Each structure stands twice: as C-alpha cells, then as structure tokens.
Amino acid sequence: MIRLEGVTKRYGDTVAVDDLTLEVPSGEVCVLIGPSGCGKTTTLRMINRLVEPTSGRIEVDGSDIMSASAVELRRHIGYAIQSVGLFPHLTVAGNIATVPKLLGWKRERIERRVAELLDLVGLDPAEYGTKYPRQLSGGEAQRIGVARALAADPPLLLMDEPFGAVDPLTRERLQAEFARIQRELRKTVIFVTHDVDEAIRLADRVALMRDGRLQQYETPEALIDHPANKFVHDFMGADRALKRLGRVSVDDVMRAEAPMIRDSDAEDIMRAACGSMRFVYVVDAEGVLLGWMDCVDVAGGVHPDEAITRIAWREAAVQSGSSLKEALSLMLALGFRSVAVVDGRGALLGEIGLADIESTMTAGDSHMAQPTEESAGEESS
Amino acid sequence: MTAGAETSTPRRAWRGFAVAAVAAAAFAWLVMQQGLWERWLGALFPAEAKPIYPSATLAQLAWEHLVIVGISSGLTLLVGLPLGVWVTRESGRDFHDIVAAAVDFGQTFPPIAVLAIMMPILGFGLWPAVVALFLYGLFPVVSNTVAGLEAVPVDALDAARGVGMGKVRILFAIELPLATRVIMAGIRTSVSINIGTATVAAAVGAGGLGDPIIGGIQVQNPAYVLEGALTAALLAVLADRLLAQTEGLLVPSHL
C-alpha cells in the first residue's frame, strides 16, 4: 500500500504538486492523469525519491520512504518510463538483469528470471536475450522496459507513460498484455498517462490532477458517471458511453459456444452444423480461425466448400483481452452484427454480438458498478 | 556489468589488434637496423658524407622519444580523464567552463614557449619537455571526456537512477562504457599530436627523435632531418592504429 499525505513539491515559486493526499491499496492500479504540467510525473518520481518532496509524507507499506537510502528504496520499486531508457551497451538479458545483479542474485537465478520475464512479456528468450536495444522495435523495447521493471519482482511498480512512445495499434496490444500480466501478478501500480482511454482501460482507480491539485480520485466508472467538477467532466470527454465500453473485457461478455466447423470436416457434418444458423465459423485442426461458412448459401444448394469465406483472423476477429469498445469498433468497420473472439495465436474462443454489448450497457449497469462498490468498501475499511 | 558487452566483442577486433601488434614489432625491428638506414639515407642523399645521425643510434632516439611521450601522455590521461569526469559531476559542474577555458589555453599556448618558461624552473632535460607536452595534450582528452559523458542518453541515466544504481556505479557501468568511443577518439588525437610535438623536446636537451631533426638543421644535413621526422611520423601512425584497435576491443561493435 502507498500513502501520500499532504505532499507538496515546489520549484522556487511554482508549485508542481500541491498538498496531495492519496492512498493506493495493495494490488491496485492507480492511474495518475491530467494535462501536461499537472504534476503527475512529479508525483510518481517522488515515490522513488527521484524528486524529493518539499513537504508531506510518503509511505510505502507503512514505512516512510525517507527512512532508508534512496538507492536501496529504488531497488525494491519497479520503474518503467516512456523513453524506456534501456542501456544501449547491454544486451536485452543484461538490461533485464540490472536490478537482480544489484541485489546480488546468483547467476543461474538471474538467467532463469530473465527467461521467465521474456516469456511473460511475450518475447522468445532464445531469440531476444542476446539482442541489443537498438535492434528492437519500439514495442519490443517497451516490453523489455517493463520486464526490467519487474525483474526483481518488486511489489510496487512505477510506470511513467510506459506505452507512450509506440503506435496506437502496438499500444493497444501492450495495454492488453499489461492487463493480463497485472491480473496474474497483482502488483501495486502507479501509472502515469495523459491518455484517458488508457486510464479507463487499465485503472482500478484514476487520480485526475490539474495544476498540482487532485481533482478527483475514483474508479473510472465513478469518474465518468459522477464527475466532481466541470474540469473532470470535460476531461473525461463527451463519449462517455463508449468510454464505459472500454472498461469491459470481451472475455467477460463473449459467448464461448460459437458455432463452428473444421475445414477438414466432411460435407454432411458441415451441412448438419448449420442448423438454423445464418453462418458458422470455420477453424483449422489447431482451432485457428480461418473464416466462416454461409449457411444460407449452403441451404440454397451451394457446396459447403464453396460457401466458405476465408479471412485473416487478425483483421476480422478481436483478441482475448480486448475491450467491448474495440469489439464494437470492429463490428462497425466490418458491417457485421457479431464478431469472433480469438486468443493470441488466432484460436477461436467464442463470439460476441451487438446484442450482447447492448444488454451489457443497459442491464449491465450493475455489472459495471460492481468494482465501484468493492473499492468503496476497501476505502472505508 | 559489461559481461554481455565483452562476450559480444567480435573476433575481428582481436584480429585487428594482432595486426597492429605485428606492425609495432616490425617498427621496432626497423629502428634497430642502423646499417640499413645508413644505406637508404646514403642512397637518397649521396652528397652527404655522413648520412645518418652519429650522436645516437636510431633505436636509442626512438626509445627516448617513447619515454617522453609515454610519461607526458600518461600524465595527460591521469589528469585529463578524472578532470573531464569531475566537471560533469554535480560537485564540479561549476568549474566546467573554467576548466574548458584552461585546457583550451593549454593547447593554444605554443609548446616551445612553455619549454622556454619551464627551463629556468625545471632546468634542462626531460621534465620541462614533459610539462609542455602534458599541457599541450590535455585539451582533446578533457574535452572529449566531457563530450562523451554529456552525450550519454538522458533516459538511460534516468532509468539507471530509477532502478537503484548509485552514482559511482552509474559512472562506471553506464556512463563510461557509453562514452568510451568519444573518449578514445580524444586520447588518439592527444597521443598523435604529442608524438609529433615531442620532437621539440630536443630543444631543451630531452633527446628523442627531435635530436637528429634539430641537429640536421644546425649542420644543414637533410638526411638527419629525414631520419628523425620519418621515424616520428611512423611512430605516430602506429600509435594511432594501436589505440584504434584498443578502442575496437573496449567498445562493443553494436554501439
């Protein structure tokens, strides 16, 4: 748990952070957001003492961060930044091993850990371990940055726009992966961004700042539905309903029993699979989505093989971990009323329809209000 | 910390270094061939009765030269590198401009004038020459050390601090490795100009390859001049190659 109590940072006459009080429960993601110069990065950097507060008190797990040396403190707090800051003269493995080496881990343990982390961030250890930072793409470098921050398994992670320097597509993929990793590791994370959608997607709670002052500290839902003032209202933007969709994962809404056939199936099995359906998905022997078969055509006498439309799954399906917003966007783009959900290698997991999204939005208010009640409960305890 | 970098040093760098080492051995052999030089220079300058400098063998002169260069360049590095590091630290940042101006002045001040000034203080011989060359060579070492350290990416430094490296560790594990190429370029420049300039040391009786040059001018024997100048030039090229290959070993190829 992290507690900031009346924290202020002044640079001469300018107040960068003004009397900030904030509490982040263990295992939660707190996103600091606000316009440039609102003090979010300064706040983050005060937690690992890269910036020393002018006044106030910061506690990590109950102990004042000023009570031990800054260097020692930082070794137990993961740190990932927008510019990544990989060390150009060290290999990827050497970069990830930085903190474990500082902590004096044994060589085999470090090697094991590096491989584990590369796996975790979705990069092949054999291929990437010996690469140098300048051989990496922007997205790969940011993954390594996150892996380095996680290296010594710190309970607390500070991330300053860690996905800021990549293209939007890569950013979405990295966000989905971060969400997955966080579900697994349950770190306490302070995450700085200026991207509202990113905040809504990743945060358990959002701290919206302006001119060094905290405007509101709430769950994304509460921020959207009950903005504390006009600034919060305007900052969250006009597309509230869409932003809410950004909070819900397709995995929570999809129907897992999508009708499907294998492309190797016999003709009569293909026909039988249609039933009263308008179309069924077609997968290969590994379950990877190949396309769909038009049942109306089949019923009209077309040979099943001829009725199959083949597509690239990356373009016509949403990946597990995506938000309803992305699913809706894909449906609109393709002009379909439903869309397939696949895993990272394209295997069909299920299907999500426009009707599912609608019902989530209406009846689903309770569905989405849930985290609010939970965190409200934790706050009072 | 640089284990990864070292293992990546390609075989090519070692081969280059071996070639330079063989060249150095060849040079050593060459300066010891007193008779050979006498024949060459005699063929080039048939008018001269004595085509080779008689007061000392070429090997002796080259050795003296190496000693002068070695001591002065050694001092230059010993003082220049820490000085360059210091003015980029918090504690020395205020002195950055003064030091830059001072080393700049050291290089623009003619070494021959330094010799003249130092002679009354340090007397005749090796030491005034060492002081003059030391001051003269300081500029490229200090300025390149500063430039190299200042060119280290800010984000790498921020990350290094953020993950909990101390200042000393950041200097040795991050900053110096990343600045090595630029620093080495400064050292190469410094040593090269030192080898050439060290010929003036003969003016204060420090010996070296300047002896036959100055002697040759005095007795109007161009063969002596060529003997000293050619050897000094070869030595400068050789030293530069050796340092370049050392750089290849120190700096991983991917930087």
The answer for residues whose C-beta is within 8 angstroms of residue A242's C-beta and 6 or more apart is: A325, A328
pLDDT score of A321: 82
Higher pLDDT, A275 or A134: A134
pLDDT score of A272: 83
B-chain CB neighbours of A145 within 8 Å are: 159
Higher pLDDT, B254 or B20: B20
- Tally A–B CB contacts below 8 A: 86
Identify the structural domains of chain A with CATH numbers, from first to last: 2-248 (3.40.50.300), 251-363 (3.10.580.10)
From the list A156, A149, A150, A152, the residue with the least C-alpha distance to A60 is A156
**Per-residue confidence at B10, pLDDT binned at 50, 70, 90?**
low
Alpha-carbon gap: A69 to the closest alpha carbon of chain B (Å): 10
Provide the percentage of residues in chain A whose pLDDT is more than 90: 54
pLDDT score of A65: 94
Alpha-carbon gap: A118 to the closest alpha carbon of chain B (Å): 17
Instruction: Tell whether the model's pLDDT for residue A362 goes beyond 80.
Output: no
A-chain CB neighbours of B161 within 8 Å are: 50, 74
Mean pLDDT of chain A: 88
- Can you tell me the distance from the alpha carbon of A84 to that of A81, in angstroms, rounded to the nearest whole number? 5
pLDDT score of B8: 47
In this complex, do B2 and A90 lie within 8 Å of one another by their Cβ atoms? yes
Provide the percentage of residues in chain B whose pLDDT is more than 90: 59
Reported ipTM: 0.78
Provide the percentage of residues in chain A whose pLDDT is more than 70: 95
B-chain CB neighbours of A96 within 8 Å are: none
Q: A251-281 pLDDT, tens per residue?
A: 888 988 888 888 888 888 888 888 788 889 9
Higher pLDDT, A244 or B194: B194
Instruction: Tell whether the model's pLDDT for residue A285 goes beyond 70.
Output: yes
pLDDT score of A247: 82
| Chain position carrying tokens 């000393």 | B168
Q: Kindly list the domain boundaries of chain B, sorted by start residue.
A: 34-241
User: Where does residue B137 rank: exposed (0-12), middle (13-18), buried (19+ CB within 10 A)?
Assistant: buried
> Whole-structure pTM over 0.90, yes or no?
no
Side chain identity, residue A90: L
Which helix (H) or strand (E) element contains residue A129? none
**Per-residue confidence at A241, pLDDT binned at 50, 70, 90?**
confident
Average pLDDT over residues A51-74: 93
**Per-residue confidence at B28, pLDDT binned at 50, 70, 90?**
very high
Average pLDDT over residues A16-34: 95
Average pLDDT over residues A288-298: 89
Alpha-carbon gap: A145 to the closest alpha carbon of chain B (Å): 9
Instruction: Tell whether the model's pLDDT for residue A369 goes beyond 50.
Output: no
Average pLDDT over residues B152-172: 94
A-chain CB neighbours of B157 within 8 Å are: 85
Give CATH superfamily name and number for B34-241. Answer: MetI-like (1.10.3720.10)
